[in-house]
Structure 1
Amino acid sequence: MLVADRYRLHTVIGRGGMGEVWQAQDEVLGRPVAVKVLLNDVADASAEARFRLEAQTSARLNHPNVVGTLDFGTWDGRCFLVMELVDGGSLAAELTGGGPLRADRLAQVAQEAAEGLAAAHEKGIVHRDVKPGNLLSDRHGTIRIADFGIARFVDDPSAGLTTTGQIVGTGLYLAPERAIGTPASSASDMYSLGCVLYQLSVGHPPFEADSPTALLYQHVDAPPVPPHQRGAALPPAFETYLLGLLAKRPEDRPTARETADWFRSGAWRGAPEPLPPEEPGAGPEPHRQWDSGPGRHRGAQQPGGGPARRPNTAGHGPAPAASSASTGPSHLFSPSAQDTGWSTSVHRAASRRPAVRTSARRHFRVLAVLGGAALFVCALLLGMSMF
């Protein structure tokens, strides 16, 4: 079958509520493409408008983690949309075929999906239907976000082409604010991504119910069971961040850009945070893992009352042995110290001359006290004799 005298359809690779997706060949440019054709039984004015909106929305995005739009038109009375062909499958198929994902693969999915969502959110586009079936994985494992069929522009509430109060999207991944009728936002996409990551780590979505109403109530009121209690093997930092994506209040969730940056940094492994930048004029102090502020260097506690973080000696050789003097008022991190580098943590032998001076001062103080006491007794005796 040849569409618009250019795109030769081969096999159906997907079907949705509005159309079916074909693997096809662009006869003009000689490249494989995916062609989405509007179904005959839904080819009304509303469906065509939504189909056209999908083409316009995805065409505004040019990002390696978003499936690109190549062409749009009408053929045989039906709309068609030409997209990049992703040589692979969806994360839904990956979960079905191999079970829950490993932590490193899940972190890659989280980062790349968040990158694609960040690109959409920066353009004012909310996807509104983030789910495993709409996250595609090419043959290299790269994640590509597809199907902007019910996406909307944040600055155009009418772009969703739905009536007031109508809920669109897949209920298993629906954000709480959308369950109560609040318009979708970029934070809603992040909640949906959290549901997807939860399902990919555990094997099941965070909430399941026998009826749509009960499912919506769970999204609004029920706290998710921590993934490790359902058999997931995630680092604690990863699980904590994942539960943060499932926060009930939109303002409590991280943004797509924050999420992508966090997973890219490797913080999900629980690795130590990087050293803070040195203050202007301060000498190098390779032992301190946290800095700075009045009084922090003098005690042995972090802000909040916990024990001080152990120094990071990676790349600096073995750490010097700790002295028992560090448990008292410490001079090791005195802001007035002029030494830098290793001298901040290595005790030096005290010179003898200061020790002699200290001993002389002590003797003088003892003699002064004894002399004062003798004078007091003499004065007391003299007064009594005179009386």
Structure 2
Amino acid sequence: MPRSSSIGSKLTALDPLSSRFALGLMEALVAAGDRSGALRHARVHEELLAQEMGMSPDARVAALVQKLRAEAGSNSGERVVVRRAAGARPFAAALADRYTIERQLGRGGTTNVYLARDRKHDRAVALKVLHPELSSVVAAERFLRQIRLLARLRHPHVLPLYDSGEADGFLFLVTPYIEGGSLRARLTREHRLSVVEALGLTREVAEALDHAHAHNVLHRNIKPEHILLDAGHAVVGGFGIVRALEVAHEEILTAEGLRVGTPRYMSPEQTACLTLDGRSDLYSLACVLYELLSGAPPPSAAEPAPIRTLRPEVPESVEVALARALARAPSGRFETAAE
């Protein structure tokens, strides 16, 4: 990375809400020829400002974004290949010989998720269909090849992959349907969990991450929505999709601002678009634990309140470990999830 963009990245890691720092990093990325990276950082910065302060980026950031998007649009004609022909079948019809769609379960940043019936094995499954605007511009074979590599993960707390493929231009994944729902749904009902349950679920997610990291796989988007509850135990979903999209995307996809991660749970280095390792996932998991105990994730741009000031019954040892896991610099955190 050129020195100017490296300095900009360090500044935005210190203060991700500063539009001045964000603009500096964007300009450095553009100067280095990484226009798509500049747009990606602009999207993250915009979402952080909206969530943390209810504000929009300043006029200079907005103007640069508009200019870069206009340039990307004018240069994208030969790069974007829309695979689905006009009048192509809806995905439910395209998959009708294998899966029967029953109802929609949710919509995420990259996929729509449906409850479906696996016709061959007569079982309920979760069918995840990549958004059409993403399917139309990613290299399908590269996407599915990456998914197959990541599907080799085998762990009691990692959601397994049943199937994946392409049908009439739709890219899809099939996983078990977990009737217990997501940790997000549980938090919506109960706001926060008991200390014992919060620590138990966090430990199980940490075990899943430790297994993935040992196989050189990062999650990049740990959050309550991706932690499912199966008979009281945590099962981590969402492995692979973000990385597969990164590997398979065409330049125009990134230029349109594919969100990699969720701002409220992203590590400072992920916010600044720096190189990541397993400690970034651990930071995200620490944000989840903080929310399980306090009712809200820690603020992105300020030092979080010590957890015992919000939940006095939390053991002091947990407070110390949580503070370490939330260190803004990766070097200040645990090296591995096993720690």
TM-score (norm 1): 0.57
2:110 alignment counterpart? 18
Partner secondary structure for residue 258 of structure 1: coil
> 2:146–2:247: 8 Å Cα contact kept in structure 1?
no
1:108 alignment counterpart? 200
Instruction: Return the match for 1:81 from 169, 173, 176.
Output: 173
Distance in 1 between residues matched to 2:108 and 2:324, nearest whole Å: 31
> 2:324–2:334: 8 Å Cα contact kept in structure 1?
yes
> 2:287–2:297: 8 Å Cα contact kept in structure 1?
yes
Aligned-residue offset at 1:180: 2.6
2:292 alignment counterpart? 200
The yes-or-no answer on 1:159 pairing with 2:247 is yes
1:249 alignment counterpart? 329
CA change 1:12–1:50 in 2 (3 A) is: farther
2:316 alignment counterpart? 236
Aligned residues: 243
Partner secondary structure for residue 72 of structure 1: strand
1:223 alignment counterpart? 303
Partner secondary structure for residue 166 of structure 2: strand
Distance in 1 between residues matched to 2:100 and 2:112, nearest whole Å: 15
Aligned-residue offset at 1:149: 4.9
The yes-or-no answer on 1:62 pairing with 2:142 is no
1:128 alignment counterpart? 220
Distance in 1 between residues matched to 2:324 and 2:272, nearest whole Å: 20
> 1:57–1:148: 8 Å Cα contact kept in structure 2?
no
Give the AA of the match of 1:174.
M
> 2:147–2:241: 8 Å Cα contact kept in structure 1?
no
1:141 alignment counterpart? 232
Distance in 2 between residues matched to 1:75 and 1:46, nearest whole Å: 14
Distance in 2 between residues matched to 1:206 and 1:32, nearest whole Å: 36
The yes-or-no answer on 1:96 pairing with 2:188 is yes
**Greater C-alpha radius of gyration:** 1
Distance in 2 between residues matched to 1:119 and 1:200, nearest whole Å: 23
CA change 1:152–1:43 in 2 (3 A) is: closer
Distance in 1 between residues matched to 2:207 and 2:114, nearest whole Å: 27
Distance in 2 between residues matched to 1:105 and 1:258, nearest whole Å: 19
1:349-360 equivalent positions in 2, closer than 5 A:
none
Which is further off, 82-91 or 189-198? 82-91
Partner secondary structure for residue 238 of structure 1: helix
Aligned residues with identical type, % of pairs: 37
Aligned-residue offset at 1:33: 1.3
Distance in 2 between residues matched to 1:40 and 1:49, nearest whole Å: 16
The yes-or-no answer on 1:181 pairing with 2:273 is yes
Unaligned runs of 5+ in 2: 1-91
* RMSD over aligned Cα atoms: 2.7
Give the AA of the match of 1:159.
V
Q: Residue deviations 1:179-208, cap 9 Å, x none? A: 23312210000000001100111001110x
Which is further off, 28-37 or 50-59? 50-59
> 2:282–2:337: 8 Å Cα contact kept in structure 1?
no
Give the AA of the match of 2:329.
R
Larger relative contact order (Cα-Cα within 8 Å, sequence gap ≥ 6): 2
Aligned-residue offset at 1:232: 5.5
Give the AA of the match of 1:244.
R
Partner secondary structure for residue 67 of structure 1: coil
Distance in 2 between residues matched to 1:227 and 1:20, nearest whole Å: 35
> 1:106–1:200: 8 Å Cα contact kept in structure 2?
yes
Instruction: Return the match for 1:45 from 129, 137, 141.
Output: 137
Partner secondary structure for residue 88 of structure 1: coil
Distance in 1 between residues matched to 2:312 and 2:102, nearest whole Å: 40
Give the AA of the match of 2:196.
D
Aligned-residue offset at 1:251: 2.3
